[in-house]
């Protein structure tokens, strides 16, 4: 009986430890506002990947799709874990208007709020860094091939 109780207590402690340590990795570990220093770190990581190739579903470190790129940048720069897809990142972000968007916010594109298929990182002055069919590039947000859905702060 004593051995069973000891095994039970050890099991509970182990499960609790796994659960608590896993929470930071399974949930979005993010901030609502990115500081200038945080943005500078993320921007450095993003710029370092300029010219990397695009492959649908790729998550880095040298080949990306759009949401794989944003996830990689924030994980590497700030240890912030984002959801895997552009739609999930949109769903988990706090919407902001274009005039209230800050450097480091995410920029979302699609046919509607329920069909977001592209994401980039806002870098200011109407530009973003994103991974798309030309690879990782800096480009204008208002381009004829994108339908802007909105901006989001990491939430």
Q: Which of 38, 65, 105, 118 is catalytic?
A: 118
> What's the rounded Cα separation, in Å, for the pair 87 and 150?
12
90 within 8 A of 116, measured Cβ to Cβ? yes
Annotation marks residue 118 as catalytic: yes
- How far does CA 12 lie from the centroid of its chain? 33
> What's the rounded Cα separation, in Å, for the pair 31 and 39?
12
Q: Which of 38, 65, 66, 105 is catalytic?
A: 66
- 3-class SS letters over 90-133: HHCEEEECHHHCCCCCEEEEEEECCEEEEEEEEEECCEEEEEEC
Annotation marks residue 38 as catalytic: no
Three-state secondary structure call for residue 1: coil
Q: Which of 38, 65, 105, 130 is catalytic?
A: 130
Annotation marks residue 130 as catalytic: yes
Catalytic residue positions, numbered: 66, 118, 130
């Amino acid at each position: 009986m004593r051995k069973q109780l000891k095994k039970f207590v050890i099991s509970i402690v182990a499960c609790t430890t796994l659960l608590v340590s896993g929470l930071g990795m399974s949930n979005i570990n993010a901030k609502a506002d990115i500081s200038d220093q945080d943005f500078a770190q993320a921007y450095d990581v993003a710029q370092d990947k300029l010219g990397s190739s695009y492959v649908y579903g790729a998550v880095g470190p040298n080949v990306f799709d759009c949401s794989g790129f944003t996830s990689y940048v924030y994980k590497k720069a700030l240890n912030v874990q984002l959801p895997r897809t552009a739609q999930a990142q949109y769903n988990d972000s706090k919407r902001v208007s274009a005039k209230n968007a800050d450097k480091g916010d995410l920029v979302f594109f699609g046919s509607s709020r329920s069909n977001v298929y592209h994401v980039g990182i806002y870098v200011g002055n109407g530009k973003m860094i994103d991974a798309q069919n030309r690879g990782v590039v800096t480009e204008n947000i208002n381009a004829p091939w994108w339908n802007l859905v909105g901006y989001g702060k990491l939430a």
